[in-house]
Structure 1
Amino acid sequence: MPDVDVVIAGAGPNGLMLACELALAGVQPVVLDRLPGPSAEPKANGLVGQVVRQLEMRGLYRRFSGAASAPEPLLTWMFSGMHMPLAGLADNPMYAMMIAQPTLVRLLLERSAELGVEVRWGHGVEDLADGPDGVRVTVAGPQGGVTLDARYLVGADGGRSTVRKLVGIPFPGHTSDTVSRLAHVAVPDELRTADGGLEVPGYGRLPFGHTRLDHGGIIFADLGQGNPMLGTIEFGPEDDVDDAEPLTLSELRRSARRVLGVDVPIGAPRGDGPPALRRIAGQNTRQAERYRCGHVLLLGDAAHVHSAMGGPGLNLGLQDAMNLGWKLAATVRGGAPPGLLDTYQTERYPVGRRVMMQTMAQTALFSPGPEIGSLRELFAELLTLPDVARHMAGLLAGSDVRYDVGDQHPLSGHLVPDLQLDDGRRVAELLHSARSLLIAEADPAVGSVDVVRAGIPGGPAAMLIRPDGYVAWATDDPTHPGVEAALARWVNRCFVTGR
C-alpha cells in the first residue's frame, strides 16, 4: 500500500491550488517544499484571465479579493504596453484580481488547512523511482532523509524543477537576449501624478505600466502595496551583468538612465519588506515535451516558463491545477473513464503553447528600432478594431483554445458562461464542491452526477459541466440525446445526489 495517494512538490500557488482541488474530490495529498516556510518574496502581482472566474466557481474570488460582488470583465488591458479597449466587447473573457503572490499563498494555505491538506516545509524531493504501481519519492527533510511511496507525484516546483529533471523530461525552448530588472522603490511624492504616473525631471511624464523607448523599455506601476515598482528591459548582451550578484538600486538607476536618457529619482523602499529586487538576464521561454511520464506529472512553471509581460503566469498555472485536480482524483479513486488523465496533456499543452507564442510576440514588439516603432504604430491601430480586440482578449485570457470534448455544441469545450438559471441561482455558485454538474429542466434519468433541475434562460436545454467549469456536453434538444455518452466519457463512477 502506498504511504500517500499524491505527493505534490512545491507549495507555491499552483501546488496549493492542486492540493485544494484534490482534497475537494476526496483525495488527501502531501505537499512538500524545500523552503522553511512560505516565501515573502514579491513575484506575481495579480491574476488575469479566466482563472478569476474559476476562483469564483470555488467560492474563493470574494474571499481572496475582498470584493462584495462577482468579478466584472476589464474595460481595457495591454499588449506589449499598448492599450487594448475592451468596453462593450460581447462575452469579454478578460478579468483581473490584483493580489500579491505572498498574500495569495497565505490564503491558499488557509484554504488547504481547512480541507485537511498536510504541508511539510523544509522537505525537498531528492530522487524518485517510477514503477508499475506508483512512484517512490526520496525526500530530504530537517531530520534527515525519508522515503514516500505514492500513487502519483506532481512537480509544481518551478522553472528549475527537480522533479522534471529527475524524470528526464526535456525542456526545449528559447532564451531571449534581454536583461530585465525590477524593484520596489521610493519616489518623491511631488513627482507622482493623479493617474498613477511619474513626472521624471528632464524627461516628462512616465505613465502607469509599460513604456517602450528607443533604448529599451521601462515599467512604472503603483499597485497600492506601499511602494511603486520600477523596472527596465534592455535588449542585447550586457558585459557588466554578473547574474550571480544580486541586483542593487544603483544598477537599476544606471539601467533606467540608459533607457530614458535622464536620472530617475528613486530611493530605497519605505516600510517593511522584503521588497522586490530582481534581475533576469536572458528570458527563458520553454515548455516540457510532455506533462506526464508514468506516475509523474508537471504543473505550472515546471511545465512551462515564459515572459511575465501581460501577467499570464498564474492564469496559466492555476488553470493547469484546476484541469488536473479532478482528473487525477478520479484516477486515484478508481472511477476515472479510460484515458481521462491523458486529457491533461492534450488540453493544457496547446494552451501553454499559445501563451509562449503571445509573450514572445510581446517581447519582440517591445524591442528597439524604428522598424519596431512603425510596427507598434500599426498594431496599436489594429487593437482598436472590435474583432481584433475580441481575438486578442481570447488569446490573453486563455479562452481561444477549445478543448476537444467530443461534442459539437457551440458551448462545448469552453468555460461555461456566467449563466443564471430560471430559479435565480448562478452556475458559478453550483460548482463550489468541484463536482461535475448536469443542468436539465426535465429529469434526464441519470444517477451518477450532481443534477440541477432548472432551466437556462436563453441557453441550451441541458448541459454537463466538468468540475473545472468547462462544458463537456450541451444540447438544445429537450430529449437530451447523447447525455449517456457524455457521462461515460467524463464522469463514469462519480456517485452524488441531485439538487
Structure 2
Amino acid sequence: MYDVYDVVIAGAGPVGLFLAGELALAGCSVLVLEREQEETSPWKALPLGMRGLNAGSVETFYRRGMLEELLEASGADGARIGADPAAHEPPAPRGVSHFAGMQLDPAAVDTAALPFRLPGPAMEGIVTSLDAVGKVLAGRAARLGVRILRGVPVEAVTQDGDTVVTRAGGHDHRARWLVGCDGGRSAVRALAGFGFVGTEPLFTGYVAHVTFADARKLKPGFNLTPAGMYLRTPFEGHLGMMDFDGGAFDRSRPLTREHLQTVLRRVSGTDTTLTDVHLASSFTDRAMQATTYRNGRVLLAGDAAHIHSPLGGQGLNLGIGDAVNLGWKLAATIRGTAPEGLLDTYTAERHPVGAAILDWSRAQVATMNPGPNAPALRRLVRDLLGTRDGTTHVFRSTSGLFHRYDLGSDQPLVGRTAPDFRLADGTRLGDLLREGHGVALDFTTGRRLHDAATGWKGRIRYAAGPVSDDLGFGALLIRPDGIVAWTGDHDPDPEAFRGAATRWFGDPAL
C-alpha cells in the first residue's frame, strides 16, 4: 500500500494495536506485522485469557472513546465503575489489587490521601480478556486505516539512518520507524541489539485449563502454602500454580497431566487428582528490562521492553501506558512538529515506571518464597499492608492513577494524570482528549489564555468556561496522553503557558 510506511509495528497484541491506533489517529501510515496466523485462540479467551485492567488503563480507554465498547466486549457492568454524573466527590475505591496473594480491604483506603481526584466515568479497574481488548483495539485500528498482516514473523531488522527495513514472512517492509511490541521473546529487541538485563527466576509458574476429579479439595482464590502457591478462580477448571524450583521446568519438558498433578499435590498439600488437561503453559518470575527503549529508529514497548511475573496483573497495564506515552510523541516526530528531544522523553518517563513494576513483582515473589522464615515474613507484611497507610500505598501503587512523571516542576499536579474536569455544559476532559490532541483548559472568566493557546492549531484544543470543581486551578495544559504539563492560577501568565506549550508541542509556526 505504501512504498515507505511511517511506522511498522511488530506485534498485534493489545500494546501494538493500541499504539497503531494512536499513530493512525494522528494521520500516520501504519503497518502491523503479527507472527501468529489466527487472531483468536483459547489463550486469549476466558478463562485463560483473563486479564485485569487497572483504573489508569480504563481511564485511557475512556479518553479515546473506547470505554463503552470495552465494557460491552468484556461483559462488564459500566455502572459499577463509573461515578454518578452529578457527583461532586469521587466514590471510595471498590477494590484493591492483592499483594503476594494477600487480599486487601478497599474500605481501609484513606481517600483523603489520594491527590487530585474528581468523579468521572472511569474510576475503577475491570476484569476482561485479551480477546475483548484485542477486539476493541483491532476494530479501532481498522477504522483508522491501519494495515495488519498475520502469519509473518520478523526475521531481520536493518537501519540505514533514514528508514528501517523489517524482513517478515519473506518480504521486506520499509518504514521511517519500527516499534517492537512483539512480547517477552521479542525478535525486534534481539535483532536491533537492545540490552536486556535483570534478575533470574525463583519459580516456575503454571496456568492451565483442567478437569478435576475432586475440585472441592482445593480452596478457591489465592492460597499460599509451605511449598508455593495455587489459585482457583471462579472459572471452572482454571488453575494457576507457582513452584519454587528456580524456574527449572519452564519450557524445558512437556506439560503432561502427570507432571501438573505432581506439582499441584506438592504445592497444595492435597491428593487432588487431575483427570484431564485441556491446555497448559508455563512461565517464570524472570524480571528483565531493556536498558533503553530506543535504538536509532527502533523503539520497544510492552513486554518487548520489560518482562516480570504476572503477580498483580501489571504487565498489560504497563504496556498500555507505554503505548499512550509513545504514540503522540512519535507522531509529532513524524509530522515534524516535535520539539527537540521529545522522543527521548519516552525512555526517560517510561523506563523508571517499568523498573518500579519489576521491583513490585520481585517484592511479591520474595514474600511468597517458601522457607522456614517465610511465615514470619508474610505475617509482618500482611500486618503492615493491612494498616490504613499500607492499604492506601498498595492502591496508589497499582491503580495506575497516581504515578507522577518528573517534568521539572514543583507544582504537585504537573506530571500526573489530569482529573476529569467537567465544564458547565457537561463536557468532560475525557471528551476533549478523544482526538489525541493536547488540551488547554481555561477556567478564568476572561478567557485569558485564548490568544496564547490558539497558536497550536491542530495540536492543542482550547476549552474555556467554569467547571464544577477547579481544584483551585485557573488553567491547565494537558498532553495528549492525559498528563498535566502546566498549571496556572486564576490570573495565568500567557508567557508561561507559551513556554510550556512550546516545550511539549513545538514551535507554533510549524
> TM-score normalized by structure 2?
0.86
**Distance apart, 1:430 and its partner CA:** 1.9
Whether 1:79 aligns to 2:72 is no
How has the CA–CA distance of structure 1 residues 214 and 477 changed in structure 2, closer, same or farther, with 3 Å as cutoff? Answer: same
Work out the CA distance in 1 between the residues paired with 2:311 and 2:202.
15
Residue 346 (structure 1) aligns with: 348
Could you say what secondary structure the match of 1:327 adopts? Answer: helix
Whether 1:51 aligns to 2:61 is no
Work out the CA distance in 2 between the residues paired with 1:97 and 1:341.
31
| 8 A Cα contact 2:448 2:492, kept in partner | no
% same residue: 36
Whether 1:218 aligns to 2:216 is no
How has the CA–CA distance of structure 1 residues 399 and 452 changed in structure 2, closer, same or farther, with 3 Å as cutoff? Answer: same
**Distance apart, 1:134 and its partner CA:** 2.0
| 8 A Cα contact 2:66 2:136, kept in partner | no
How has the CA–CA distance of structure 1 residues 422 and 411 changed in structure 2, closer, same or farther, with 3 Å as cutoff? Answer: farther
Whether 1:279 aligns to 2:282 is yes
The alignment of Structure 1 onto Structure 2 pairs a total of residues equal to 469
Could you say what secondary structure the match of 1:159 adopts? Answer: coil
Residue 86 (structure 2) aligns with: none
Residue 194 (structure 2) aligns with: 169
Work out the CA distance in 1 between the residues paired with 2:148 and 2:282.
30
Could you say what secondary structure the match of 1:138 adopts? Answer: strand
Q: How does 1:130-145 map to 2 (within 5 A)?
A: 130-140=159-169, 145=170
Could you say what secondary structure the match of 2:156 adopts? Answer: strand
Residue 120 (structure 2) aligns with: none
| 8 A Cα contact 1:403 1:414, kept in partner | yes
Whether 1:181 aligns to 2:206 is yes
How has the CA–CA distance of structure 1 residues 494 and 365 changed in structure 2, closer, same or farther, with 3 Å as cutoff? Answer: farther
Listed one character per residue, the Cα deviations across residues 223-242 of structure 1 (whole Å, up to 9, x for unaligned) are 5xxx3411211113587x47
Work out the CA distance in 2 between the residues paired with 1:432 and 1:175.
41
Which amino acid is 1:476 matched to? D
Match of 2:145 among 104, 113, 116: 116
**Distance apart, 1:265 and its partner CA:** 4.6
Listed one character per residue, the Cα deviations across residues 239-268 of structure 1 (whole Å, up to 9, x for unaligned) are 7x4734432333222111111221225444
Residue 195 (structure 1) aligns with: none
How has the CA–CA distance of structure 1 residues 454 and 71 changed in structure 2, closer, same or farther, with 3 Å as cutoff? Answer: farther
**Distance apart, 1:443 and its partner CA:** 4.1
Residue 365 (structure 1) aligns with: 367
| 8 A Cα contact 1:47 1:96, kept in partner | yes
Residue 491 (structure 1) aligns with: 505
Residue 199 (structure 1) aligns with: 216
How has the CA–CA distance of structure 1 residues 49 and 495 changed in structure 2, closer, same or farther, with 3 Å as cutoff? Answer: farther
How has the CA–CA distance of structure 1 residues 393 and 325 changed in structure 2, closer, same or farther, with 3 Å as cutoff? Answer: same
Could you say what secondary structure the match of 2:174 adopts? Answer: strand
Work out the CA distance in 2 between the residues paired with 1:494 and 1:135.
29
Q: How does 1:321-336 map to 2 (within 5 A)?
A: 321-336=323-338
How has the CA–CA distance of structure 1 residues 328 and 207 changed in structure 2, closer, same or farther, with 3 Å as cutoff? Answer: same
Listed one character per residue, the Cα deviations across residues 442-482 of structure 1 (whole Å, up to 9, x for unaligned) are 24112112001123424211111111111111122423451
Work out the CA distance in 1 between the residues paired with 2:323 and 2:34.
17
Listed one character per residue, the Cα deviations across residues 31-88 of structure 1 (whole Å, up to 9, x for unaligned) are 0011112241234523224111111111112211124348354333310011222335
How has the CA–CA distance of structure 1 residues 175 and 238 changed in structure 2, closer, same or farther, with 3 Å as cutoff? Answer: closer
Work out the CA distance in 1 between the residues paired with 2:404 and 2:319.
17
Work out the CA distance in 1 between the residues paired with 2:508 and 2:37.
38
Residue 243 (structure 1) aligns with: 251
Whether 1:62 aligns to 2:68 is yes
How has the CA–CA distance of structure 1 residues 4 and 65 changed in structure 2, closer, same or farther, with 3 Å as cutoff? Answer: same
Work out the CA distance in 2 between the residues paired with 1:375 and 1:242.
27
How has the CA–CA distance of structure 1 residues 495 and 77 changed in structure 2, closer, same or farther, with 3 Å as cutoff? Answer: farther
- Mean Cα deviation higher: 146-155 or 15-24: 146-155
Q: How does 1:225-240 map to 2 (within 5 A)?
A: 227-237=236-246
Residue 389 (structure 1) aligns with: 391
Work out the CA distance in 2 between the residues paired with 1:222 and 1:490.
46
| 8 A Cα contact 1:58 1:434, kept in partner | yes
| 8 A Cα contact 1:216 1:234, kept in partner | yes
| 8 A Cα contact 1:74 1:96, kept in partner | no
Could you say what secondary structure the match of 1:108 adopts? Answer: helix
**Distance apart, 1:394 and its partner CA:** 2.1
Match of 1:467 among 477, 480, 502: 480
Aligned alpha-carbon RMSD (Å): 2.4
**Distance apart, 1:120 and its partner CA:** 0.7
| 8 A Cα contact 2:204 2:250, kept in partner | no
Work out the CA distance in 1 between the residues paired with 2:246 and 2:407.
46
Which amino acid is 1:64 matched to? L
Residue 100 (structure 1) aligns with: 129
Work out the CA distance in 1 between the residues paired with 2:160 and 2:486.
36
Residue 88 (structure 2) aligns with: none
Work out the CA distance in 2 between the residues paired with 1:440 and 1:261.
62
| 8 A Cα contact 1:462 1:480, kept in partner | no
How has the CA–CA distance of structure 1 residues 276 and 58 changed in structure 2, closer, same or farther, with 3 Å as cutoff? Answer: farther
Whether 1:10 aligns to 2:11 is yes
| 8 A Cα contact 1:350 1:401, kept in partner | no
| 8 A Cα contact 2:432 2:461, kept in partner | no
Listed one character per residue, the Cα deviations across residues 5-37 of structure 1 (whole Å, up to 9, x for unaligned) are 100011111100100111111112100011112
**Distance apart, 1:483 and its partner CA:** 0.6
Could you say what secondary structure the match of 1:182 adopts? Answer: strand
Structure 2 residues without counterparts, runs of 5 or longer: 83-92, 118-122
Listed one character per residue, the Cα deviations across residues 302-360 of structure 1 (whole Å, up to 9, x for unaligned) are 10000000100110001100000000001001111111100000000000000000001
> TM-score normalized by structure 1?
0.88
Q: How does 1:477-488 map to 2 (within 5 A)?
A: 477-481=490-494, 482-488=496-502
Listed one character per residue, the Cα deviations across residues 282-305 of structure 1 (whole Å, up to 9, x for unaligned) are 431100011001100001011000
Work out the CA distance in 2 between the residues paired with 1:263 and 1:100.
31
Residue 147 (structure 1) aligns with: 172
Q: How does 1:14-53 map to 2 (within 5 A)?
A: 14-40=15-41, 41-42=43-44, 43-53=49-59
| 8 A Cα contact 1:85 1:383, kept in partner | no
**Distance apart, 1:391 and its partner CA:** 2.0
Work out the CA distance in 2 between the residues paired with 1:483 and 1:347.
22
Listed one character per residue, the Cα deviations across residues 90-127 of structure 1 (whole Å, up to 9, x for unaligned) are 24998322111123212211111111110011222221
| 8 A Cα contact 1:52 1:71, kept in partner | no
